[in-house]
């Protein structure tokens, strides 16, 4: 079998849906140590991690899990991919996290875990039949409790909502048993909650903030960046120990952000697949968002491969820019472009929150710590094209 080309090797390391191995990741300098210090300061430390999509939160959470697993009994359930986050409140999330951790650590048969399962009861009959038919068997086999959180969330939510304090205490007992068995304090890492819809986020982080503050273990939890633009965010801050933010990276040559992105590209094999100038162009158009940077490189590599090339050209990068920018064409309406044309002080709070959430605006931090918002370079290019087309239509 022939050796894969440098472009193919690079692409295999850029699948954002099925991330590559740890050797391909790069961490923010110093960020992990700040979060670790917050966690270690108190037995009830709860850190809220904010940052827009693609800024690197999942990478930092993965790093925390690896770095802290010898100090803490780490619980990192795939809540965002299993639970319906439009419905789930803190009781459902906490019960699921405890049962998932018990299953992951072969502790499902402990007294505490069995007590939770018994309290949740048996699944309804049609659920068992559906599971059985999907498997093609003739015997009705009840789904596991973790399967039920994914496929029978409404029914489980009714049960938990009827006695939230009871289930909270039962889940706490599961966590305490895990701590005893491991000999380490528990740490909950909840990634993916930044994807919670606006109304559900308000309910989860504001209306249920007392339950957030009552989580009986250390926790690092991602949250939608738009929360910080809401007038109630001060109440949310009071419910947690600290709020840490990941912002977009500076992309100017010589800055730490520029070096970070270049290192990220190198880890994935870009130096063998891309001319130097093309990597620099991707840095420039990334908006300081690591995910957008990788998407640009991956799309350019894919274009080059489909054209039978052995390296990425300027034309490949131009086509990649247009392809990655396509999502903004669908996500942004006339009112969004009108808001983008305003200065930040003239944008409404709702518009600012939405534009940051979809990535049209990118959140940066200056060297003196001042926050500012800049238009994503890909969106600015769309705005330039729209203005040019409008000018030509008039003249």
Q: Hey, where are the domains in the chain?
A: 6-18+249-330, 23-109+165-245, 332-394
Spatial distance between the Cα atoms of 214 and 175, rounded to a whole number of angstroms = 14
Report pTM.
0.86
Average confidence (pLDDT) over 76-81: 91
Q: What pLDDT score does 100 carry?
A: 93
Q: In which residue are the tokens 């620099």 written? A: 280
Nearest to 79 by CA among 146, 173, 28: 146
Query: Of the given ranges (5-19, 50-64, 365-379), which has the lowest mean pLDDT?
Result: 5-19
Transcribe 227-242 into DSSP letters: GGGSTTHHHHHHTSSE
Residue 134 or residue 182, greater confidence: 182
Residue 126's pLDDT band, with cuts at 50, 70 and 90, is: very low
CATH number of 6-18+249-330, picked from 1.10.8, 3.90.550, 1.10.260, 1.25.40: 1.10.8
Beta strands 371-375 and 361-365 are: antiparallel
Per-residue pLDDT tens for 164-222?
999 999 999 999 999 999 999 999 999 989 888 888 999 999 999 999 999 999 999 99
Q: What pLDDT score does 332 carry?
A: 94
Q: Which residues of 107-131 are buried (b: 16+ CB within 10 A; e: fewer)?
A: bbebebbeebbeebeebeeebbebb
Query: For the purposes of burial, counting CB atoms within 10 Å of the CB of 260, is it exposed (0-12), middle (13-18) or buried (19 or more)?
Result: buried
How crowded is the C-beta side of 269, counted as CA atoms within 13 Å? 18
**Percentage with pLDDT > 70 across the chain:** 90
For domain 23-109+165-245, give the fold.
Rossmann fold (3.40.50)
How crowded is the C-beta side of 163, counted as CA atoms within 13 Å? 9
Residue 257 or residue 144, greater confidence: 257
Region for 226 from its dihedrals, namely left if φ exceeds 0, alpha if ψ lies in -120 to 50, beta otherwise: alpha
Residue 269 or residue 132, greater confidence: 269
Is residue 29 over pLDDT 50?
Answer: yes
């Amino acid at each position: 079998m022939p050796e894969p080309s440098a472009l193919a090797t690079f692409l295999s390391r850029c699948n954002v849906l099925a991330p590559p191995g740890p050797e391909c990741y790069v961490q923010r300098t110093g960020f992990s140590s700040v979060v670790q210090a917050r966690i270690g300061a108190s037995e009830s430390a709860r850190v809220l991690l904010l940052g827009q999509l693609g800024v690197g939160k999942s990478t930092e959470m993965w790093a925390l899990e690896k770095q802290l697993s010898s100090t803490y009994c780490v619980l990192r359930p795939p809540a965002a991919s299993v639970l319906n986050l439009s419905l789930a409140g803190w009781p459902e999330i906490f019960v699921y996290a405890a049962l998932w951790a018990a299953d992951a650590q072969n502790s499902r048969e402990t007294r505490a875990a069995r007590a939770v399962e018994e309290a949740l009861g048996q699944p309804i009959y049609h659920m068992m039949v559906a599971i059985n038919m999907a498997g093609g068997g003739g015997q009705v086999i009840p789904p596991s409790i973790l399967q039920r959180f994914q496929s029978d969330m409404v029914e489980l939510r009714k049960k938990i909502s009827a006695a939230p304090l009871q289930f909270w205490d039962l889940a706490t007992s599961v966590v305490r048993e895990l701590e005893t068995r491991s000999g380490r304090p528990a740490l909950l890492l909840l990634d993916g909650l930044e994807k919670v819809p606006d109304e559900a986020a308000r309910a989860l982080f504001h209306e249920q903030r007392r339950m957030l503050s009552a989580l009986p273990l250390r926790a690092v939890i991602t949250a939608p960046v738009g929360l910080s633009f809401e007038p109630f965010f001060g109440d949310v801050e009071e419910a947690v120990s600290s709020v840490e933010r990941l912002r977009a990276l500076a992309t100017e040559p010589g800055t730490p952000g520029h070096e970070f992105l270049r290192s990220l590209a190198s880890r994935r094999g870009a130096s063998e697949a891309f001319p130097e100038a093309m990597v620099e162009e991707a840095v420039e158009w990334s908006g300081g968002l690591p995910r957008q940077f990788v998407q640009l490189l991956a799309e350019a590599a894919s274009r080059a491969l489909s054209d039978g090339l052995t390296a990425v050209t300027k034309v490949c990068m131009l086509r990649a820019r247009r392809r990655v920018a396509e999502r903004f064409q669908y996500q942004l309406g006339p009112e969004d472009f009108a808001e983008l044309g305003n200065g930040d002080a003239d944008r409404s709070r709702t518009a600012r929150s939405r534009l940051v959430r979809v990535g049209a605006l990118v959140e940066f931090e200056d060297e003196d710590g001042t926050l500012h918002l800049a238009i994503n370079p890909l969106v600015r290019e769309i705005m330039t094209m729209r203005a040019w087309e409008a000018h030509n239509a008039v003249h």
